[in-house]
Amino acid sequence: MEKLIDLISKEVTEAFVAGGYDGKYGQVTLSNRPDLCEYQCNGALAAAKEYKCAPFQISDQVAGRLQGAPMFAVAESVKPGFLNLTLDPDYLAGYLREMGQDEERLGCVKCNSPKTIMIDYGGPNVAKPLHVGHLRSAIIGESIKRLGKFMGHSVIGDVHLGDWGLQMGLIIIELKERKPDLLYFEETYQGEYPKEPPFTIAELEEIYPAASAKSKEDEAYKEAAMQATYELQHGRRGYQALLAHILDVSVSDLKRNYEDLNVSFELWKGESDAQPYIPDMVEKMKADGFAYLSEGALVVDVKEDTDTKEVPPCMILKSDGASLYNTTDLATIVWRMKDFAPDEIIYVVDKRQELYFTQVFRCARKTGLVKPETKLKFLGFGTMNGKDGKPFKTREGGVMRLEYLVSGINDEMYKKITDNHTVDEDEARETAKLVALSAIKYGDLSNQASKDYVFDIERFTSFEGNTGPYILYTVVRMKSILKKYMAERSMPGHARILPARSASEKALMLEAGKFNGILENAFAEMAPHKVCAYMYGLADAFNHFYHETKIMAEPDEMQQASYIKLLGLVKRILELCMDVLGFEAPERM
Ligand code: ARG
- Give yes or no for a contact between 254 and 130, defined as CB atoms under 8 angstroms apart: yes
Full set of structural domains in the chain with CATH: 4-87 (3.30.1360.70), 166-251 (no CATH), 468-581 (1.10.730.10)
pLDDT tens digits for range 17-63: 999 999 999 999 999 999 999 999 999 999 999 999 999 999 999 99
* pLDDT number for residue 322: 82
Enclosing H/E stretch for 258: helix 237-260
Percent of the chain at pLDDT exceeding 70: 100
Residue of the CA atom closest to atom 12 of ligand 1: 123
Rounded to the nearest angstrom, the distance between the alpha carbon of 297 and the centre of ligand 1 is 23
- Would the CB of 513 count as within 6 Å of ligand 1? no
AA letter at 504: S
Banded model confidence at residue 320, pLDDT cuts 50, 70, 90: confident
Pocket mutation for ligand 1, best pick of 167, 353, 355, 359 (most atoms within 8 Å of C-beta): 353
Cα–Cα distance for residue pair 566/572, rounded to 1 Å = 10
Atom of ligand 1 nearest to the CA of 332: 10
pLDDT(423) > 90: no
- Give yes or no for a contact between 183 and 194, defined as CB atoms under 8 angstroms apart: yes
Residue of the CA atom closest to atom 7 of ligand 1: 123
- Would the CB of 118 count as within 6 Å of ligand 1? no
- Would the CB of 347 count as within 6 Å of ligand 1? yes
Rounded to the nearest angstrom, the distance between the alpha carbon of 449 and the centre of ligand 1 is 17
Residue of the CA atom closest to atom 5 of ligand 1: 123
pLDDT(487) > 90: yes
pLDDT tens digits for range 369-416: 999 999 999 999 999 999 888 888 887 878 888 989 999 999 999 998
- Sign, Cα dihedral of 126, 130, 134, 136: positive
- Would the CB of 349 count as within 6 Å of ligand 1? yes
Q: Which of 476, 481, 484, 477 is nearest to 584 (CA)?
A: 476
- Would the CB of 125 count as within 6 Å of ligand 1? yes
- Sign, Cα dihedral of 380, 386, 388, 390: negative
DSSP letter string over 298-337? EEE----TT-SS--PPEEEE-TTS-B-HHHHHHHHHHHHH
Rounded to the nearest angstrom, the distance between the alpha carbon of 167 and the centre of ligand 1 is 14
pLDDT tens digits for range 171-184: 999 999 999 999 99
pLDDT tens digits for range 542-571: 999 999 999 999 999 999 999 999 999 999
Rounded to the nearest angstrom, the distance between the alpha carbon of 347 and the centre of ligand 1 is 9
* pLDDT number for residue 128: 85
Q: Which are the contacts of 443, defined by CB distance < 8 A and separation ≥ 6?
A: 455, 456, 459, 460, 467, 468
What is the average pLDDT across 201-211?
A: 92
* pLDDT number for residue 233: 83
pLDDT(524) > 90: yes
Cα–Cα distance for residue pair 577/542, rounded to 1 Å = 15
Residue of the CA atom closest to atom 2 of ligand 1: 123
Cα–Cα distance for residue pair 348/437, rounded to 1 Å = 20
- Would the CB of 162 count as within 6 Å of ligand 1? yes
* pLDDT number for residue 188: 92
Cα–Cα distance for residue pair 151/108, rounded to 1 Å = 8
Rounded to the nearest angstrom, the distance between the alpha carbon of 11 and the centre of ligand 1 is 49
Rounded to the nearest angstrom, the distance between the alpha carbon of 143 and the centre of ligand 1 is 18
Banded model confidence at residue 127, pLDDT cuts 50, 70, 90: confident
pLDDT(422) > 80: no
Atom of ligand 1 nearest to the CA of 134: 4
Mean pLDDT, the chain, rounded, equals 95
* pLDDT number for residue 589: 87
Residue of the CA atom closest to atom 8 of ligand 1: 123
pLDDT tens digits for range 439-456: 999 999 999 999 999 999
Residue of the CA atom closest to atom 11 of ligand 1: 329
Atom of ligand 1 nearest to the CA of 329: 10
Rounded to the nearest angstrom, the distance between the alpha carbon of 413 and the centre of ligand 1 is 32
Q: Which are the contacts of 405, defined by CB distance < 8 A and separation ≥ 6?
A: 132, 135, 440
- Would the CB of 438 count as within 6 Å of ligand 1? no
pLDDT(323) > 90: no
Q: Which are the contacts of 522, defined by CB distance < 8 A and separation ≥ 6?
A: 147, 528, 530, 531
- Would the CB of 123 count as within 6 Å of ligand 1? yes
pLDDT(212) > 80: yes
Pocket mutation for ligand 1, best pick of 120, 324, 359 (most atoms within 8 Å of C-beta): 120
pLDDT(421) > 80: no
- Give yes or no for a contact between 587 and 476, defined as CB atoms under 8 angstroms apart: yes
- Would the CB of 329 count as within 6 Å of ligand 1? yes
pLDDT tens digits for range 183-205: 999 999 999 999 999 999 999 98
Cα–Cα distance for residue pair 385/373, rounded to 1 Å = 37
The DSSP code for 466 is S
Atom of ligand 1 nearest to the CA of 357: 11
- Would the CB of 586 count as within 6 Å of ligand 1? no
Q: How many CB atoms lie within 10 A of CB 226?
A: 17
Of all residues in the chain, what percent are helix, strand and coil, respectively (each to 5)?
A: 55, 10, 35
Atom of ligand 1 nearest to the CA of 162: 1
- Give yes or no for a contact between 107 and 374, defined as CB atoms under 8 angstroms apart: no
* pLDDT number for residue 397: 79
pLDDT tens digits for range 231-248: 998 889 999 999 999 999
Rounded to the nearest angstrom, the distance between the alpha carbon of 123 and the centre of ligand 1 is 5
Pocket mutation for ligand 1, best pick of 125, 130, 134, 160 (most atoms within 8 Å of C-beta): 160
Residue of the CA atom closest to atom 6 of ligand 1: 123
Banded model confidence at residue 144, pLDDT cuts 50, 70, 90: very high
Q: Where are the alpha helices (DSSP H) in 19-120?
A: 43-51, 55-66, 89-101
Rounded to the nearest angstrom, the distance between the alpha carbon of 177 and the centre of ligand 1 is 29
